[in-house]
Structures are given as structure tokens and as C-alpha cells.
Structure 1
Amino acid sequence: MLCKIALGNVRRAGKDYLVYLLTLTLAVTVFYAFNTISVQVDIAGVTAQNAGMGETLGGVISWLTVFLGFVMGFLMVYANNFIMKRRKKEFGLYQVLGMSRWQVARIMAMETLFVSLAALVLGVVLGLGLSWLMVFFTASIFKTQIADFRFFFSLSAFMLTVGCLVAIFLVTLVFNLRVVARAKIIDLMSASRKNETVHVRNPWLSAVVFVVGAAAIGIAYARLLHDGLPYDGSPDGMTNFLITTVTVVVGTILFFFGLSGFLLKALQAARGLYWRGLNMVTLRQLAAKVNTVSFSMAMIAMILFLAITSVTTGMSLAGVMNENVEHGTPADYSRIITYIGEQSAAELNASSEQNGSGTRYAVTREPIDVLKASALDTVDPDSADARPFDLASIIGRSVQVDVYDSTPLGESVPLVTLNALCEAVDMPLPAGTETADMTSFGLGIMKESDYNRYLRFRGFDEIDLGEDGYLITSDMGATVNDVYNAAMAKGVTIDIAGRELYPAADAVDYEASVFQNAMFGMNSGSVVVPDELVDEAGLPLYYGYFLGDYADGVSTEEGDAYVRAYRRYGDLTDSDGAVVALWGQEATRTETYESVDSMNGLISYLAIYIGFVLVVACAAILTIQQLSGVADASGNFRILSELGTERRDIAHSVLAQQTVFFVFPLVLGIAHSCVALSVIIKLVQLFGGFAIGGAVGLTAVIFVVAYGGYFFVTYLMSKGIVGDAIRARHSL
């Protein structure tokens, strides 16, 4: 009997359960589809190129799903609150007719179970289709070809989805039982006659609060644009950023806290508009609702800001890496050594004395041949097959470029710095980077002969600096390279070893500035000067870059396998046994492409996953708030109808109110994102191009589908509630 009643209730109260069912179905759909990522990368052929990628992505997505499951659980409690509020009188009637609270609770539990099962079935069916489509999306991200597409069902993704759904069901059930256990029959029976107590604030005070909130937001914007992001994590930078964050959050809360008074005073001033149609009624109801949900609207605006910023930034970063990887891989293999400077040698020797290791460190003036020094490494050192790392056996064409520190030995001030060039051309770098290493440290210095060898290796024309020429090389983004271009175009001179040097070109040769395989720009600036000036200035060695292509007869797969074998690095020492350099990063072209593909996949999936769920959460909260408000105001709509107001005008009034509640948080969230993205773009452009066009399009699609869809459902359901209220007779 109880089961039959529960089924009948679900059918009868289908409109009330629609938001709950829709949100839960979407959650199940995305939970299942995104947790099939390990299967998708296998079908897309990613694992053949990047072993372990499926497990990595799957693990990250699984943990993220658990977190988002908790978020959706609390959201479902909020959605269920609307259903309970609408049906309290019905549950009270059950008890009046003789049912115990336990029996009513069982009915509620079965209703929730039926809706959850329906959401599971619908969500899994939609999730299956979405997961199959996502295989092609996965292949496009990782640039692979689908050799053997097949339809699949992931048991692990299904079990994880069911687990999240069970957790959501249990949280909702506990909330429902708590409501029934604590409520008195008289409260349940009279629930439809009780509305939320609304404390209408003084309109003038609210308007002042609104202005204060808007001013605080403006101040936060100005601070962020002036201070930028804390690029180097300095304490002062982090403190300023924290103050800015608190200011924008408080300003957003005050903005919505005083919104009702501002709207009321603004429209009252326009009397022709205020007294037209139902505008006065609409505004009064809007003011009362804003008073009660101001904090939640502020939080929704902030969450939408995070969703917009994360999706746009994440997808844009993925695009940047995708565009830069071909430019950033000039050779089959690259390896770097970092030479030990004076200060580093002193610090390392002091540490060595304290721990008793006996290792000595020193500064060298002689470059180390990376190709020969690689033989100091030992392949498979702990096995019987231990052998030297014979890099020369697989390398054909190669080149080594040594970069010198622009701070002469015995001195502390660099000869050339990025800050000095910025001042010379009056082009400041993005706010927040003033104390970063790349701006305060000196630029690297490179010999003309080394650079010409590099140009020959790359197939470019050689340069001739003469006696007083210089060039700047850099593979960074426009933010940095624009400064270098301006400096050379304006003829800014630099002094090396007492000789004044003039630019030998008008701009940086971006293509001829890459000295290692990397997904981002790594050459923050190196000045090419005549060879003799390096020795005359007493400049110490800084970096050694080795680039090499595999020899004829050595395939890419064979070369990659050889350099990827496990080995122990050898010490780079001078003739006295002192360590003078340390091994740095090494990478093959294949590894760099794989790293970019991996990062693209991870960032893209996380950005879309988090963004979609956050948008759905915000839209669902707004939908529930509006439906609850319309249900509370049903008596007012009935009175308006009895006074002769057309149903169309009442529907337009409801639409106007809901448009404000959906649009205002979105507009403020977009405004926050635009300011934040303007700072992020400038910062990311330090390392490469940053285009947000495609990411903005994807973000717009997510909002149209999720946010706009919930707005449409909210209005349709609200029209139904208004229609029911108008048709109903007065309660006795």
C-alpha cells in the first residue's frame, strides 16, 4: 500500500520533482561519462603513445567526482527542501488520517528512491551516449586516430556513479526524516498559509549599501589591475592579493544586499515606468525576494566567476601549449647543464662542510662538452648490464650553445636586465612581476660564434655583429618580446666590457631563439655579443644547451628508448675533482609532445567537468529559489487575477523577476572574470601566446546549455504554478 501511494505521489507531483530529477540526471550523466576516461583514451589510441595516461586521468577524475558528489548532495538537499515545502500539508494530512510518522517517512523514502532510480537510468543512458561521443573529443585533444571504435560500458565508472548517487540519496533521506520527525501536525497542516518572514529594509539605506558594495568591487578591480597576481609568491604580494580577494567578496555581498533598495529608488524616480502595468508589484516582490536571498546571490556570482575563469583559462592554456609545442621542439633530443656560480659554490661548500659529505664545488671558465660528458652517466647501474650512456652513438647532427651570466665575477650587479630595458622604452611588465627572478636577474650573454653554430644547425642564415653590434634572443610571449623589440627598434645601447653596443636588428627572431625542447618558452632573454667581449668582461658560465638529432639509421623509437633507459647521472667535475656544474632538464621531441598532450587532456577535462558542474549547481539553486518564491506568492497572483489582471501580464511579471535573479549574478560574475582574465592574459603571455576566443565560445556553450536551460525550465514551471493558483478556489 505504501509503495502504491509513493508511486502515485511521484506521478502526481511530477512538476515538483522535475528540478530534482533534472539536476540528478545531469549529475549522473557527467559523473559516468567523465569517469570512463581511462576507456576513452584506450580506444582513442592514446595509451599506445602515452602509457599510464588513462590511469592518471582516471584517478584525478575519480577523486574530483567524489568531491563534486558532496557538492551535489548538499544541492539535492536544497532542491528537496522546495518539494518538502510544497507538500507539508499533504504529509500532515496523512498523519491526521491515522498514519504514523514512520509510515510517512517510508513513503518519502520510497518517493526519493523512485526518483533517484529514474535519474540513474536516464543518466546512465545519456552518459553512455556522451561517453561514446567523448571518445572523438579525446582523440582530437591527444591528436590520435581512432583505429577501432567500439561501444563500451564501464563497470568501474558505473559503480562510482552509483556510489555517489547512493550518498546523495542517503543525505536527502536523512534530511527528509529529520523534517518529519520534528514537525508537528498543526505546523504541517498550516504550512501553505505560512510565508517566510520578510524584513524590508529602508530603501535609502539599501541604496547606500548598494553604492558601498559597488565601490568596494571597483576598488578591488583597481587593486588587481595595479598589483596583479602574486607571480613570485612573495609575502607582500600574497597579502595584497588576499586583501583584494576579501574586498571583492565583501563588495559582492553588499552589492546584492542593497540591490533591492537601489532598484526601488531608481525606478520610483522614473514614475512613468514605475506606475506602468504591474511594474510596481513586480518591483515590490523583487525587493522582498532580494532581501531574503542576497547572500546566496552573492555566492552564486562568485561561483559563476570561478566557473567562467577556470574554463576559459584552462582551455586557453591548453590551446597555447598546443600551438607552441611545434615551435618549442627544435631537435630530437635536448639536454641542459647548469654551471655553478660564485654564490652557489660558496653556499654548497658551506653545506658540504656541515654535513660532512666532502664534496667540493667551484666555478669554471671552461665550457663542458655535453656530448662527451654524457658518457659519465651509467645506464642500468644496479644490474650486470651496467654501461656508460653513449649518447654519441645515436646522435648525428648536434650543436651546443653556452650562455654566460651577465654579472661579472666578483661583482653583484648584472650588465643587462629586463627591468632596465623596460625603463629605457617605458614599457612596464605586468603588475605582480616586479620582484620576479626573470626581471631582476641579468639576461644571459651568448657568444656570436656559438649562436652562428646554432643558426647553422637550425638551417638559418648566420649573423654578423661587427665590432659594436648586439642581438637579443627570446622565445617568450609578446609581453616580454615586445619590450625587446622596442628596445632594439629604438636603438637602446648596452655596455659590455666598456664597449657601447648597438642593436644589429629591429626585432627578436622568435624562431631562432629556442635552445631546448619545452612546451613553453624557456629562453627569457639572451644577448648575443662579439666573442671577445665575454672574456674581457669576465663573465662566468651560466647554462649549457645541447641539441641533437638522431643519426641516420636510428629511428625515433630507437633513439627515444635509448635515452629513456634508467641511468645514474655522473658528476661534472674539473681537473681538481670539484663539481662545477649540475645536470639539468633533458627531453626528447616525443616526450615534449606527449607532455603537451597529457596536459591538454588533463586541463581540458578538468576545466569542462568543474565548470559544468558548478554552473549546474548555481542554476539549480536559483531555480529552486524562484520556484519556492512563486509558490509562496501564489495567493498574490490569485488576488491579482480576481482584480482583473490578465494572466499574460502576471506571467510577464514573474519572467521579469526571474530574469533579474538569473542575469544579475551572471553579469557580475562575467565582470569579475573579465577583470581577472585581463590580468591572467598578460601574465601568461610572458611564456607564450594566449588566445581566449575558442575558450570563450566553449564557455558560452556551457552556459547556454546548462544555465539557460535551467532558466527556461524555471519559467515554464513558474507559469504552471501561477496557472494552478489562479484556477484554485479560496481556502476556507
Structure 2
Amino acid sequence: MMLFKISMKNIARSVKDYAIYFFTLVLGVAIFYVFNAIESQTVMLEVSRNTAEIIKMMTTLLSGVSVFVSFILGFLIIYASRFLIKRRNKEFGVYLTLGMGKRKISLILFFETLIIGIISLVIGLLIGVALSQIMSVFVANMFDADMTKFQFIFSGAACIKTLIYFGIIYLLVMVFNTIIISKCKLIDMLNAGKKTEQIKAKNPVICIIVFLVAISMIGYAYYLVTGGIKYLDTEVDFFKPIVLGAVGTFLLFGSLSGLLLKIVMSMKKVYLKGLNSFVVRQVSSKINTAVCQLTIICLMLFVTICVLSSAFSIKKSMSDNLKELAPVDVQLIKNLDSFPGNKDIVKDDKLSIYETLKVNGFKPEKNFKDVLNFDIYETDELTMEKSLGSSAKKIKKNFPYLAYSAPQNIVKLSDYNKIAKRYGNESLKMNQNEYAIIGDFQSMVSIRNIPLSYGQTINIKGRELKPKFKKCKYGYIEISGNHSNDGVFILPDDVVVSMEKKAIGIIADYNIGSKDGKRKIEDELNAIVKKIWMKTSSITINSKIDIAEAGTGISALVTFLGLYLGIIFMISSTAVIALKELSESSDNRERYIMLRKLGADDKMINNALLRQIGIFFVFPLLIAIVHSVVGIHFCNYVLEVIGRTGLLPSIIMTGVFLIVIYGGYFLITYFCSKNIIKEK
């Protein structure tokens, strides 16, 4: 009981020491609960069967990611505990001097950890439950769900999972604390505040050389993910810029610790003004002793910014793509001669899509309106390689994995103009000796543009056709949820008419306005297509409803994973900076006492402290932001098929998260550090 009372008094007396620790625990618990409670929140949502499957898959994935998150938070909490023990070494030394055994000191720490853990769990769960209701609205809005049955939800499963995971983490912290105390020596504890870290002065010439090497490595990494991205052919190649960037960042921090002091010292008016000399030396010392930490923090912030920005951008792009790329309710395409050995399919190939549906009991004239028919052709005279002409050799060298021998999709001009009008795209006008290419997948469009810019001709049925345009025209044939059209050739009708049809298709809207009515027609249509698939016919179906649900599922997965990991990474990296600064303030308290004796008032000292902490917080963030500019460009390239809309709003949203979490930790760190250096 006595040890418990001591623990309570210690907590009350050391509230300022525990502020960062407590803030981190509460945030961790709240976020962990919110993302693990999504499954329970979605119980009250009225969604379709397909959407329910997507939500189930998403919650399973989030549950798996939670294991990884728990390891990150566990490491962070142990790291924070280490700071607290270091901060209180002299206190524990006094306990030992008074005859208290290390076992009892470990019990005091046990009770303190237990009490703080219980308080943080209760407050974190309360905040988490409140935030999860907001998350419910966000989930419902994302999945376009019926909110009429919305009610307050408490997830027992998420609560139990949070209690178990954090209970294990706290148990590990207690074991860790016991081991640390058992290894401590009394003399080290009593003299903890007098120990100073030995810092070796760095040779400025070596620092300059290392700095130039670092800049070169980072610059080359930037080049590889921008202008040199075409040279990243294999999975191993993609690790090159990552390794170069990480090593370059490490060397950059290592060199700057020596250069910073020399550069500012050469600026006498700045260096000798106020307490600038003290601030510069303190910052240089901190960077010098925390190169590894700053590198990890910078890279974690870089990943956080890229993940959050890309996640929000993908969500916006998916929503915009639905409006742009799925302007009709349904599209059916029948592949012809897909299985010449199947007599039933060969027989069905002679029927139109309308006739095939009628034979199988579906009434297209009753369920469809504004029907548009079109045909897709191909010929061995027009393959990918032949369309590239003299550019083929160079393009093959840079892009060796494209299907160069594959025949290209061809649509006659009259069909395409009808489709373009229906989709709201630009119609084309061409002469009888011209051709055009439509596409919307930017990487392939850039390849197609090379021979077009040279005026590359193609030969079909003995006729030479020249390009109408010097670049691909924006357009597509098949509706989808992303920009996936890698190129369709539009040829004059009289050139195409003698070719063999590859497929036939129809575009239509449902003859009913309500969503439930459309879903009913679509369920019937899907059942028929599934029943006859590769048995009597080879019809594929694309619908706005399915595309919307698939797009929503992907964007939800990416958004929630991005939020979850992004926020956890941000908390972890920022908490490490905060704890490092608090530890430095504790170690340097005697120096601030000396400054007071030399005549510095509290205002000057507080300003010096604010600048130190500000530089240490801002420094890795600035480098992370520079990295992120290139990183986001690379993410956009990788996710190009989805689109690039909504990037500015996503960056603004990421900035808000940074300001709230990063700024919150900065303020807490400053006020706690100010209290530490004021202690007598």
C-alpha cells in the first residue's frame, strides 16, 4: 500500500514529465479503437451484397494491419518509458540511498505504469468511441449507404482487442522497466544530471565531402523516380532510389551537424547576437548525437505525407472517374470466335447480343433504352510493333515488356463518333486516307505519340493511311473505373468493313430511374451472363453500379489504410522528436541555470529554448517535404491508371493532419521543456 501511495504521489508530482507519454498513449488507444471498430459501425448500414463483401475484406485487412501498428506503438511506448526512467535516475538513486531495494523501485514503476495505462485506456477509449461515431458517418458517406438506421455504436470486439493489445504492451513495458532498474548502479543514478555526452568536433572538409556525396545520392534517387523512371524495369530496380534516398538522408544529417556550426560561426553578427551562439551549439550538438533518429523520423514523415496525400487523392480520383468514365448504365461486349472448338459458342457468335439475351429469357426491349451498337475489329496487318514503325526498335529497348505482336483494337469512324457523342467526348473528322488513335492511359499515350509525331503511316488492305493528328486524342470505348484505354485505332468505314470482327458490343441505359430498380435489372442480367459464360456464349458486362462499388471499395481500402498508417507513423515520429527534446532539456538544465547566473532573463532563455525545439522539429520535416514532392510524383506515376485529380485538396488535408498532430506535440514539448528548465 505504501508503494502504491508513493506511485500516486510521483504521478501527481511528475505530471509535466508524463504529458507527452500520456498524450501518445491516449492518441494510440483512440486511433487503434476507431479503426478496429469499423466493422461494428457498418452493421447498421444498408448496403448491397457486393459492398458488404468489400467492407468485410477491408475490416479483415485493417485487423491484420493492427498487429503491425501494435508493434510500432509498443516500441514507441517502451522508448518513452526509457526517457522517463532516465529523467528520474536521481530520484531512484535517493530511494536506493535510503535503503529501498531495486525490487521495490520496480514495483513503484509497475504501479505508475499500471495507473497511467488504466487512465490512458479509459480516456483513449472514450475519445475513440466518440470519434468512431464520426467515422461511421464517413464510412456511410463513402459507401453511399442508407443512414436511416444510424445509431450510437459501441464495439465490444474493438474494445476487447484494444485492451488485450495495450495490456500486452504495458506488460512488456513493466518487464523492460524492471530490467533497466536491475542493471542501474547507484553512482550512475546519483550523478546522472552531471554526465555530459562527449561530442567530437567534425572535420569541416570531411563534412563538405560527405554533404556533396549525400546531395549526389539524393539527386540521383530523385532522377530515378522522375526522368529516369523508364530504367526501373524490375522489382529490384525500384529499391535503388529507396536505398539511395535513405543513405543520402543519413549522410545529409551527419554532415550538417558539422557544417551548421561552421557556417553560422562565420556570420559574426548573427552568431554573437543574444543567445544565438548557445542555440547554434545546442542544435549542432543535438543533430550530431541524433543522426540515426533524425533519419528515421524524416523518412517516416516522408512516408506519412506520401501515403496520406496519395490516399486522399485516390478517393477523389475514383469519384471523378465514375462520372467521367462510366456515363451509361451498362455495356455488354461479346467476343467472337473465342472458343472455335465449342459448337454452342460458334453457333451463338452468329447472333447479336440482343438475340442472345432473348434466347436466355432476358427482355432487352423492356429493360434497356437508348441502345447503341458498335463493332470492334482486328487484323494481323496492324500489330503494336507495326504501328510504331521506325520507332519500334528504340521503344522496345526502353519498354521491353509490351505485347508488340498483339493485333490492335480497331473501330470504324462512324461507330466511334456515335460512342463519343454518347459519352460526351469529342467526335473525329478524318479523310479517307487518314487514321487516329484514341486513349486515356497516359503512359501508353506517350508511347503512341512518338510515331504519331513523326507522321508514321500504316498499311491496311493495300491502303496507306497517315495520322490525322500528331498526338492521341482523348477517348475510350469500354466504360470502366479507371483510365485504362491504352490505344484504339479509328479508321475510315470503308477500310474497316472488309475486316474480321473481334467483338460486338452494345451501350444502354436501364429503362427505370430508381437505384433499386436498376439493381434488380442488373441482378437478372448478371445471372444470365454468369449462366451462359463460356458455355453457350462469351459475353462480358460492365455496369455503372459495379464500377461504382468496386471503385468505392478500392478507394475505401486505400483511404483507411493510408489514414491508419499515416497517423500512426506521424504520431511515432513526432513523439520520438518530443521525447528526445525533453531528454535534452532535462540533461541541459544546469546549462540554463548557468545562463541565468550570467545575466540572461527568462524571456531570452525561453526564446532560445523555443528556437532550439523549433529547429529540431522543423529540420526533418522540411527535408521530408522536399522528399515528398518527388515521392508524390512517383506515386502518381505508379497509380496513373486511377488518375491524378484531387491532389491539391489531398495535400491540404495532409497539411491539416501535420499541423494538428505535429503542432500539438511541438507545443506540449515546448511547455514541458520550459517547466523542466525552470525547476530548482
What TM-score do you get using the length of structure 1 for normalisation? 0.82
**Structure 2 residue 258 is the aligned partner of structure 1 residue 269:** no
**Structure 2 residue 290 is the aligned partner of structure 1 residue 318:** no
Tell me the residue number matched to 1:12.
13
Q: Are residues 391 and 570 of structure 1, via their aligned partners in 2, closer, same or farther at CA, if it must alter by over 3 Å?
A: farther
Q: Give runs of aligned pairs for residues 535-574 of structure 1, distance below 5 A.
A: 542=502, 544-550=504-510, 555-565=517-527, 567-571=530-534
> Is the Cα contact below 8 Å between 1:421 and 1:483 reproduced in 2?
no
Find 1:642's aligned residue among 571, 587, 597: 597
Give the secondary structure class of the aligned counterpart of 1:416.
helix
* Pairwise CA distance, 1:604: 1.6
Q: Give runs of aligned pairs for residues 570-581 of structure 1, distance below 5 A.
A: 570-571=533-534
> Is the Cα contact below 8 Å between 2:383 and 2:407 reproduced in 1?
no
* Pairwise CA distance, 1:224: 2.1
Q: For the residues of structure 2 that align with 1:91 and 1:271, how far apart are their CA atoms?
A: 44
**Structure 2 residue 376 is the aligned partner of structure 1 residue 403:** yes
Q: For the residues of structure 2 that align with 1:55 and 1:571, how far apart are their CA atoms?
A: 30
Q: Give runs of aligned pairs for residues 216-615 of structure 1, distance below 5 A.
A: 216-228=217-229, 234-235=233-234, 238-337=235-334, 369-372=352-355, 388=360, 390=362, 392=364, 396-397=368-369, 398-405=371-378, 407-408=380-381, 414-417=385-388, 434-435=399-400, 437=402, 443-451=408-416, 454=419, 465-474=430-439, 476=440, 494-501=458-465, 510=474, 513-534=475-496, 542=502, 544-550=504-510, 555-565=517-527, 567-571=530-534, 583=538, 585-615=540-570
* Pairwise CA distance, 1:614: 0.6
> Is the Cα contact below 8 Å between 1:407 and 1:414 reproduced in 2?
no
Give the secondary structure class of the aligned counterpart of 1:226.
coil
**Quick check: 432-441 or 153-162, which moved more?**
432-441
Give the secondary structure class of the aligned counterpart of 1:265.
helix
Cα offsets for 1:260-290 (capped at 9, x unmatched): 1110121122122122222222222222221
**Quick check: 103-112 or 207-216, which moved more?**
207-216
Q: For the residues of structure 2 that align with 1:71 and 1:375, how far apart are their CA atoms?
A: 59
**Quick check: 332-341 or 276-285, which moved more?**
332-341
Q: For the residues of structure 1 that align with 2:29 and 2:390, how far apart are their CA atoms?
A: 53
Q: For the residues of structure 1 that align with 2:398 and 2:303, how far apart are their CA atoms?
A: 23
Q: For the residues of structure 1 that align with 2:414 and 2:130, how far apart are their CA atoms?
A: 60
Q: For the residues of structure 2 that align with 1:172 and 1:548, how far apart are their CA atoms?
A: 63
Give the secondary structure class of the aligned counterpart of 1:163.
helix
> Is the Cα contact below 8 Å between 1:46 and 1:139 reproduced in 2?
no
* Pairwise CA distance, 1:705: 0.5
Q: Are residues 415 and 153 of structure 1, via their aligned partners in 2, closer, same or farther at CA, if it must alter by over 3 Å?
A: same
Q: Give runs of aligned pairs for residues 62-73 of structure 1, distance below 5 A.
A: 62-73=63-74
* Pairwise CA distance, 1:297: 0.4
Structure 2 letter corresponding to 1:188? M
Q: Are residues 609 and 114 of structure 1, via their aligned partners in 2, closer, same or farther at CA, if it must alter by over 3 Å?
A: same
Q: For the residues of structure 2 that align with 1:459 and 1:196, how far apart are their CA atoms?
A: 69
> Is the Cα contact below 8 Å between 2:224 and 2:231 reproduced in 1?
no
> Is the Cα contact below 8 Å between 1:488 and 1:505 reproduced in 2?
yes
Q: For the residues of structure 2 that align with 1:337 and 1:419, how far apart are their CA atoms?
A: 35
Q: For the residues of structure 1 that align with 2:403 and 2:3, how far apart are their CA atoms?
A: 71
**Quick check: 91-100 or 297-306, which moved more?**
91-100
Tell me the residue number matched to 1:695.
650
Give the secondary structure class of the aligned counterpart of 2:52.
coil
Q: For the residues of structure 1 that align with 2:400 and 2:379, how far apart are their CA atoms?
A: 18
Q: For the residues of structure 1 that align with 2:117 and 2:390, how far apart are their CA atoms?
A: 61
Q: For the residues of structure 2 that align with 1:571 and 1:117, how far apart are their CA atoms?
A: 61
Cα offsets for 1:494-548 (capped at 9, x unmatched): 54334343566798775xx443332112322212112342366xx6655554434
Give the secondary structure class of the aligned counterpart of 2:227.
helix
Q: Aligned residues, how many?
A: 674
Tell me the residue number matched to 1:618.
573
Give the secondary structure class of the aligned counterpart of 1:473.
strand
* Pairwise CA distance, 1:449: 4.7
**Structure 2 residue 610 is the aligned partner of structure 1 residue 655:** yes
Q: Are residues 89 and 339 of structure 1, via their aligned partners in 2, closer, same or farther at CA, if it must alter by over 3 Å?
A: farther
Q: Are residues 507 and 435 of structure 1, via their aligned partners in 2, closer, same or farther at CA, if it must alter by over 3 Å?
A: closer
> Is the Cα contact below 8 Å between 2:434 and 2:492 reproduced in 1?
yes
Give the secondary structure class of the aligned counterpart of 1:153.
coil
Give the secondary structure class of the aligned counterpart of 2:411.
strand
**Quick check: 553-562 or 588-597, which moved more?**
553-562
* Pairwise CA distance, 1:223: 2.5
**Structure 2 residue 637 is the aligned partner of structure 1 residue 720:** no
Give the secondary structure class of the aligned counterpart of 2:600.
coil
Give the secondary structure class of the aligned counterpart of 1:520.
coil
Q: For the residues of structure 1 that align with 2:404 and 2:313, how far apart are their CA atoms?
A: 25
Cα offsets for 1:178-230 (capped at 9, x unmatched): 11122223332332322334334334323332232122211211222222277
Give the secondary structure class of the aligned counterpart of 1:258.
helix
Tell me the residue number matched to 1:576.
none
Q: Are residues 533 and 278 of structure 1, via their aligned partners in 2, closer, same or farther at CA, if it must alter by over 3 Å?
A: same
**Quick check: 491-500 or 623-632, which moved more?**
491-500
> Is the Cα contact below 8 Å between 1:395 and 1:548 reproduced in 2?
no
Structure 2 letter corresponding to 1:416? S
* Pairwise CA distance, 1:700: 0.3
Give the secondary structure class of the aligned counterpart of 2:655.
helix
Q: For the residues of structure 1 that align with 2:287 and 2:426, how far apart are their CA atoms?
A: 68
Give the secondary structure class of the aligned counterpart of 2:541.
strand
**Quick check: 600-609 or 19-28, which moved more?**
600-609
Q: Which of structures 1 and 2 has the larger relative contact order (alpha carbons within 8 angstroms, sep 6+)?
A: 2
Q: For the residues of structure 2 that align with 1:669 and 1:370, how far apart are their CA atoms?
A: 55
Tell me the residue number matched to 1:21.
22
> Is the Cα contact below 8 Å between 1:417 and 1:442 reproduced in 2?
no
Q: Give runs of aligned pairs for residues 175-194 of structure 1, distance below 5 A.
A: 175-194=176-195
Cα offsets for 1:150-173 (capped at 9, x unmatched): 222111111111122112201211
**Quick check: 279-288 or 681-690, which moved more?**
681-690
* Pairwise CA distance, 1:591: 1.2
Structure 2 letter corresponding to 1:269? S
Q: Are residues 151 and 625 of structure 1, via their aligned partners in 2, closer, same or farther at CA, if it must alter by over 3 Å?
A: same
Q: Are residues 418 and 614 of structure 1, via their aligned partners in 2, closer, same or farther at CA, if it must alter by over 3 Å?
A: farther
> Is the Cα contact below 8 Å between 2:441 and 2:484 reproduced in 1?
no
Q: Are residues 461 and 132 of structure 1, via their aligned partners in 2, closer, same or farther at CA, if it must alter by over 3 Å?
A: closer
Measured on the aligned residues, the alpha-carbon RMSD in Å equals 3.7
Q: For the residues of structure 2 that align with 1:422 and 1:401, how far apart are their CA atoms?
A: 34
Q: For the residues of structure 1 that align with 2:421 and 2:218, how far apart are their CA atoms?
A: 55
Structure 2 letter corresponding to 1:711? F
Q: For the residues of structure 2 that align with 1:230 and 1:30, how far apart are their CA atoms?
A: 40
> Is the Cα contact below 8 Å between 2:388 and 2:451 reproduced in 1?
no
Structure 2 letter corresponding to 1:290? I
* Pairwise CA distance, 1:105: 1.3
Q: Are residues 455 and 641 of structure 1, via their aligned partners in 2, closer, same or farther at CA, if it must alter by over 3 Å?
A: closer
Percent same amino acid among aligned pairs? 28
Q: For the residues of structure 1 that align with 2:436 and 2:445, how far apart are their CA atoms?
A: 12
Structure 2 letter corresponding to 1:444? N
> Is the Cα contact below 8 Å between 1:620 and 1:710 reproduced in 2?
yes
Give the secondary structure class of the aligned counterpart of 1:521.
coil
> Is the Cα contact below 8 Å between 1:213 and 1:254 reproduced in 2?
yes
Q: For the residues of structure 2 that align with 1:483 and 1:229, how far apart are their CA atoms?
A: 12
What TM-score do you get using the length of structure 2 for normalisation? 0.88
Q: For the residues of structure 2 that align with 1:546 and 1:433, how far apart are their CA atoms?
A: 37
